[in-house]
């Protein structure tokens, strides 16, 4: 099991717990993306936000995060106003 937690501008905090890092990354991307999409920013700003902040964190989770979790270690990454942490949660952890 892994636990993902994230904070967006220190105002929106959420978490997910599950067995599959790929699923967690998809949920993170969808949930944070939904917050950004409904933020009232102009479409160009939303795209910039997704490209410069969200995408690099998701990519790092899928690579460096998976490697850390497989070793039983925690991982974290920040980009702009987004902070994401992943850690083993209890028993076995899958990548």
Predicted pLDDT at 87: 96
Chain segment 11-25, per-residue pLDDT in tens: 789 999 999 999 999
* Helix and strand numbers, DSSP H then E, in the chain: 4, 4
Q: What is the pTM of this model?
A: 0.86
Which residues does 90 contact at the CB level (< 8 Å), separation at least 6?
1
H/E run at residue 3? strand 2-8
94 within 8 A of 21, measured Cβ to Cβ: yes
- pLDDT tens digits, 25-63: 999 999 999 999 998 999 999 999 999 999 999 999 999
């Amino acid at each position: 099991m892994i636990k993902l937690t994230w904070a967006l501008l220190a105002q929106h905090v959420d978490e997910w717990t599950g067995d599959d890092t790929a699923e967690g990354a998809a949920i993170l991307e969808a949930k944070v993306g939904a917050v950004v999409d409904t933020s009232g920013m102009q479409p160009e700003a939303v795209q910039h936000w997704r490209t410069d902040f969200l995408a690099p964190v998701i990519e790092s989770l899928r690579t460096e995060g998976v490697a850390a979790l497989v070793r039983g270690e925690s991982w974290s990454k920040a980009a702009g106003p987004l902070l994401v942490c992943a850690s083993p949660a209890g028993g076995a952890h899958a990548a």
